[in-house]
A and B are shown apart, each in its own frame.
Chain A
Amino acid sequence: MEETYERACYIERLGLFGCIQCGKCTAGCPLNYLTPFNIRKMVYDVLNSSGEDIASEKHEIWQCTTCSTCSSRCPKQIEPRDVIINLRSILVEDGNIPPQIRDVLKSITINYNPWRLGKEQRAEWCKGLELKDASEADLLYYVGCTPAFDPRLQKVAQAVVKALRKAKVDFGTLGVEEVCCGSEIRRLGDIWSFDALREANTEIFNGYDNIKQIVTTSPHCYNTFKNEYPGLKPEVMHYTQFVSSLIDRGQLVLAKDYRKKVTYHDPCFLGKQNKIYEEPRNILRSVPGIEFVEFDRNRESSLCCEGGGGRMWIEIEDVKERLANIRVRDARDMGVDIIAVACPFCLLTLEDAVKSNDLEGKVQVMDIMEIVAKTLT
């Protein structure tokens, strides 16, 4: 076997010699519920044969949602997820990637968003809201690409604004100057574009002395700012953390009754990856009249919605089932009115599943902030 220096480096860096092949990763992998995708075997193969070969042979590496269940459960604390990202970046470097992904990566460099929409449209969602500019506020609301461009998610961003205003939070946004956080791009293996975005964002954020805190809509942006942006000055929070503390401090009062039976779907990037389990539940429990119930599979055992790791832009073939389908059918069986989510991707994937399972009018998918907005006077 030819040992390239680069390969030896990443095998050491990822600690793959530490793997005891116990399979805890594979059995916890949400993809493995649907496809033969076997992350344990992938680690074994990477360790025992040349990494480049594996990357081009194994087309299933595009299936990974980077939910990180594997990494969080690994008893030897190696990160199988990073093996996937590493293999993807080998393919990206060679230009050996599916066309949809090429389009996404291209859009990032041109539009600073993955949605192939012009950057000048980034502030359409808040037209007429007369939001402050980031330079005039204590707190930056970082909207994120999906809530800024997707018509369904724009409603969530608007709900966030409504709540922040109600709580008299001094916040501003970057408007059309906002740039993608790079989370998905990095996970698609384009670590080079990610580095550029990170530099750009760090410069923007650190450039505002007035900004002490950043609140994000998406757990994906939150996660990357929090864990992959060394040297970022402002404190980063997901909105569930911030809003939960507003409620606890009495600064935001959820006044109106909302008599619904609600469950909550933990986003992987908030829950499994950042252990934020209680704040979203605290918000929901603070809603007057709500009946809150848990999925059997919640918190550390939550199912992934399959929206992460670039999967919003990759169709995987030969799969009859979707995890989101399982999720909405479980919700139906529990008799809930609403599945509350706290992540743009979860919202889109679960809403799709509601449609494809003919559950429209029976089970509704709402972001926590949309529920909050409905209870404000």
Chain B
Amino acid sequence: MAAKKIGVYICHCGVNIAATVDIEELKRFAATLPRVKSVQNYMYVCSDPGQELIRKDIKEKGLNRIVVAACSPRMHEPTFRNVLKSAGLNPYCLEITNIREQCSWVHHDRHTATEKAKGLLAASVAKAALLEPLEEHEVGVTPTAMVIGGGIAGIQAALDIADTGFKVYLVEKEASIGGHMMQLDKTFPTLDCSACILTPKMADVKNHPNIELLAYSEVIEVKGFVGNFKVTVKKKPRYVIESICNACGQCSPYCPIEIDDAFNERLAKTKALYIPFPQAIPATYVIDPQSCRYLRDKSCRQCEQVCKELQAINLDQKEELVELDIGTIIVATGFDIFDPRQKPELGYGKYENVITGLEFERLVSASGPNQGDIKINGKKPKDVVFVQCVGSRDQTVGNEYCSRVCCMYTAKHAHLVREKLPDAHITIFYIDIRAFGKGFEQFYDRVRGERVYYRRGNVSEIYKKGDKLMVRAEDTLMGKAVEVAADLVVLAVGMEPSKSAKELGKILKLSNSPDKFFLEAHPKLRPVDTGSDGVFLAGCCQGPKDIPDTVAQASAAAAKAVIPLAHGTVKTEAMVSVVQAEACRGCGFCVEACPYAAITLEEKKVRGKKKIVATVNEVLCKSCGACAASCLSGAIQQKSFTDEQILSMIAVIGKKY
């Protein structure tokens, strides 16, 4: 083994590190550490000239281990590994000392911060001397993607991937794709008809040779890793055979059971044998298992009689499990609206003329239950009041965030009221108006010009006075409370992550940000990646957004998801765990500790004797180290984090360097 020659590179990170850590002192100190042959400092070591510094040193001074004292390895470890590689050194001969997040950013005192940086650096140098070169392996990639969630985000992502030539499965839990956008009437700020711009895309999904739609289906298990996922999808029984049903609709009128029409936000009724909406994709009816008479007590088979010729109805259909090989996955599970019953002072659920923004979309839509007539109890409202920020910016319900669409959709709603009820008195109570997008401020200007009263104040309560509702808020610009009478109150409910995404998040091991939406890998630089390799995010499952942002993000996720597919191979982890069979007791603690199901207990011959030992599947191992930490006999070691390496660091810090 060649003698270890270590180079140390200290980054100022502008003033991020240099303002708190004395770089010159750290440099002096580094030079005194064993085996250190070169010490350099630079303003930004990650920049091209910074990288060149390292490359040059490796070549000229024959360095074979590199320590970079800079930011968190989460930031730039891959960058510096590439530097080593391009200089002909094994990329795993690198150790990063985090003197930014774990030092300069969290301390004020320059002297003690510098002392701490010295300790961290000395430990890294000690470990670097023990680092071994590691090999990366490559495995093939299944050239197929899966998109979960068939709202506009999932539709766009699926179409983009399909257009690149790869196969895509689109999994939607509901009977039709379309998501919330299908429920909208017009869309701000341009007022395009939502269905007119969405339904052609839905038809494209149906007709695209590369897309296989699994509607009324849910992902229940995901095994494997990027490039090689094994996904189990549960296809719920529709009780109508998708390949036969031609959506003629003759059956539905004969169904004796009425249920709430979910597509119309329960403002209307539909039958237990129904199609969610006329343009549904797949264009197939479905039977609601909770209310169908046959499925409850076998007492009715009316529909079968009606569909005698085609025989598209199969009341004995069973759920089906499909196992699919998938290369990359896009999650596009969207949002749920906030349930305003959590704000009882606003009277939702108590007064029938207090409705949500989404109910208003159905009410005002030509395809809605009133054919677009804004009527409450058969009467046209004279006074309409909109309430902003319901369930957004509100810590009392745990939603600290702004939902980003409500200001604009309320402006749109006010415009639609003005269009249909020219004499209505329209008031919008708001806290702040956020008109940040392209064309938004202009739209806001236009709507105010349409005789809409914007009053600054957060509605505190709504109560009944005679046959009117009184909406009580402080007009904070007047500095006094006002009561505005209303026949219709529309609550601008915010967005929350879809409830059905919770289970999926666990299956895919996704993290959530404090707002409970899925967490991206980096808020700025990796906004569609997740912590799980090969899994990407699109649309409102990552955070509230409007349709333009949703579509942009969906296309971005599609591009990202295609990269491994196009590449054809992915690298596996090099820093995997290894089991020393002689020391293993076969207790299986590590099997339980492993979150990736990468360890199994297997019978092996060890020194001529049969024995149960833990065995690591190196392809599945994500090098988290949980097994090594759980092993009581020290039989599992994780490469680059061996006990010896870690103890050497502790020893150095313990000895005060």
Interface residues of A (CB under 8 A from B): 20-29, 32-33, 36, 38, 40-41, 69, 72-77, 296-297, 299-301
Expressed in whole angstroms, the minimum distance between the Cβ of A300 and any Cβ of chain B is: 4
Judging by beta carbons under 8 Å apart, are B395 and A77 in contact?
Answer: yes
Segment at the A interface, from B71-79, B183-191, B452-460: B452-460
Judging by beta carbons under 8 Å apart, are B474 and A75 in contact?
Answer: no
Q: What is the 8 Å Cβ interface bit string for chain B, positions 451-487, against chain A (1 contact, 0 not)? A: 0000011111101100000001111100111100000
B473 / chain A contacts, CB cutoff of 8 Å: 23-24, 27
Judging by beta carbons under 8 Å apart, are B393 and A27 in contact?
Answer: no
Return the 7 tightest CB-CB contacts between A and B, nearest first.
A23-B474, A27-B460, A28-B460, A22-B458, A26-B474, A24-B458, A75-B394
Chain B: CB-nearest residue to A77: B395
Known: A23-B473, A32-B481. A301 touches B344 (CB 8 A): yes
**Max chain B C-beta neighbours (<10 A), residue from A69, A72, A301:** A301
Verify if B503 is at the interface (C-beta below 8 Å from A).
no
Known: A21-B476, A36-B480, A40-B476. A75 touches B458 (CB 8 A): yes
Known: A299-B344, A300-B345, A301-B344. A73 touches B460 (CB 8 A): yes
**Bound state CA distance, A40 and B459, in angstroms?**
13
Known: A23-B457, A301-B463. A77 touches B472 (CB 8 A): no
Judging by beta carbons under 8 Å apart, are A27 and B472 in contact?
Answer: yes
Judging by beta carbons under 8 Å apart, are B431 and A28 in contact?
Answer: no
Name B396's contact: one of A20, A33, A41, A77 (CB within 8 Å): A77
B456 / chain A contacts, CB cutoff of 8 Å: 23
Verify if B389 is at the interface (C-beta below 8 Å from A).
yes
Judging by beta carbons under 8 Å apart, are A28 and B476 in contact?
Answer: no
Judging by beta carbons under 8 Å apart, are B463 and A27 in contact?
Answer: no
* CB under 8 Å from chain A, chain B span 380-411: 389, 393-396
Expressed in whole angstroms, the minimum distance between the Cβ of A77 and any Cβ of chain B is: 5
Judging by beta carbons under 8 Å apart, are B344 and A75 in contact?
Answer: no
Chain B: CB-nearest residue to A70: B460
Chain B: CB-nearest residue to A37: B481
Judging by beta carbons under 8 Å apart, are A28 and B394 in contact?
Answer: no
Expressed in whole angstroms, the minimum distance between the Cβ of A268 and any Cβ of chain B is: 13
Judging by beta carbons under 8 Å apart, are A301 and B345 in contact?
Answer: yes
**Bound state CA distance, A74 and B395, in angstroms?**
8
B457 / chain A contacts, CB cutoff of 8 Å: 22-24, 27
A26 / chain B contacts, CB cutoff of 8 Å: 460, 474, 476, 481
**Bound state CA distance, A27 and B476, in angstroms?**
10
Judging by beta carbons under 8 Å apart, are A75 and B389 in contact?
Answer: yes
B482 / chain A contacts, CB cutoff of 8 Å: 27
Expressed in whole angstroms, the minimum distance between the Cβ of A177 and any Cβ of chain B is: 41
Known: A22-B431, A36-B480. A27 touches B344 (CB 8 A): no
**Bound state CA distance, A368 and B385, in angstroms?**
39
**Bound state CA distance, A40 and B461, in angstroms?**
16
**Bound state CA distance, A76 and B396, in angstroms?**
7
**Bound state CA distance, A300 and B395, in angstroms?**
17
**Max chain B C-beta neighbours (<10 A), residue from A27, A40, A41:** A27
**Bound state CA distance, A152 and B114, in angstroms?**
73
B458 / chain A contacts, CB cutoff of 8 Å: 22-24, 27, 75
**Bound state CA distance, A33 and B482, in angstroms?**
10
Judging by beta carbons under 8 Å apart, are A75 and B395 in contact?
Answer: yes
A300 / chain B contacts, CB cutoff of 8 Å: 344-345
A25 / chain B contacts, CB cutoff of 8 Å: 460, 474
Expressed in whole angstroms, the minimum distance between the Cβ of A41 and any Cβ of chain B is: 6
Given contacts A38-B481, A301-B347, 13 further A-B contacts (CB under 8 A): A22-B431, A23-B456, A24-B460, A26-B481, A27-B482, A29-B481, A32-B481, A36-B480, A38-B479, A296-B463, A300-B344, A301-B344, A301-B345
Known: A27-B459, A36-B480. A76 touches B345 (CB 8 A): no
**Bound state CA distance, A41 and B344, in angstroms?**
25
A22 / chain B contacts, CB cutoff of 8 Å: 389, 431, 457-458, 476
B472 / chain A contacts, CB cutoff of 8 Å: 27-28
Chain B: CB-nearest residue to A39: B474
A297 / chain B contacts, CB cutoff of 8 Å: 463
* CB under 8 Å from chain A, chain B span 328-367: 344-345, 347
Judging by beta carbons under 8 Å apart, are A74 and B345 in contact?
Answer: no
Name B459's contact: one of A20, A24, A72, A296 (CB within 8 Å): A24
B393 / chain A contacts, CB cutoff of 8 Å: 20, 75
**Bound state CA distance, A297 and B350, in angstroms?**
11
Name A74's contact: one of B344, B389, B396, B480 (CB within 8 Å): B396
A38 / chain B contacts, CB cutoff of 8 Å: 474, 479-481
**Bound state CA distance, A72 and B457, in angstroms?**
17
Expressed in whole angstroms, the minimum distance between the Cβ of A334 and any Cβ of chain B is: 12
Expressed in whole angstroms, the minimum distance between the Cβ of A117 and any Cβ of chain B is: 39
Judging by beta carbons under 8 Å apart, are B479 and A73 in contact?
Answer: no
Judging by beta carbons under 8 Å apart, are A41 and B479 in contact?
Answer: yes
B389 / chain A contacts, CB cutoff of 8 Å: 22, 75
B431 / chain A contacts, CB cutoff of 8 Å: 20, 22
Expressed in whole angstroms, the minimum distance between the Cβ of A281 and any Cβ of chain B is: 15
Expressed in whole angstroms, the minimum distance between the Cβ of B476 and any Cβ of chain A is: 4
